[in-house]
Amino acid sequence: MSQPADDTTAHEDAPASADVRTARLLVAGQFVLIGILVLLPGRHDWPVPAALKVACSIATVVGLAVMVIGATGLGRGLTATPLPNAHAQLRTGGLYRYARHPIYSGLLLTMASITVASGSVSRLLTLGLLVLLLTVKARWEETRLIQRFQGYADYAARTPRFVPRLRR
């Protein structure tokens, strides 16, 4: 049986195995830190007034909603790893008009709310690690998005990574 003359075209757009491995490690690290944040017991290292707990509960729900809306906005381009798939398109509308990574923004809001409401220094330190990891992950992802989408660099120059700008 003969091979097609140009066997590389089928895999031309596929990410390199090193990129896939790195992407999976970033996602695994993210889920480990999320698991720690959720499972660590609250220690009451600082007092958390009842009104603040309510505000944190509301912020948690808002963060979850932002994640769902951001994920829905990607449509079939949504992937489990920070590598664009064949269906990915550059999204600059909806929540993506305000932040380049609204799913990460919603995740950070959710995890920050859980952390504040817990009153736990160990959760606060873990949240710091999550912020660091998501920043590294977003930057890593953005290098691939710049390669994939011609307009991504301009979009990134005018749109904040995680936290939308306040209007003046």
pLDDT per residue rounded down to tens, the chain (168 residues) = 444 444 444 445 677 899 999 999 999 999 999 999 999 887 789 899 999 999 999 999 999 999 999 999 999 999 999 999 999 999 999 999 999 999 999 999 999 999 999 999 999 999 999 999 999 999 999 999 999 999 999 999 999 999 999 875
Cβ contact 115:109 at 8 Å:
no
In angstroms, the CA 159 to CA 101 distance is 10
Contact 126, 116 (CB under 8 A): no
Stated pTM of the model: 0.88
Output the pLDDT for position 41: 84
Half-sphere exposure of 113 (CA within 13 A, CB side): 19
Q: What is the residue type of 97? A: R
Burial 47-61 (b: 16+ CB within 10 A, else e): ebeeeeeeebeebbe
**Which residue stretches of the chain are H helix?**
17-39, 50-74, 102-118, 121-148, 152-158
pLDDT of residue 15: 77
Q: Cβ contacts of residue 87 below 8 Å, gap of 6+?
A: 75, 76, 77
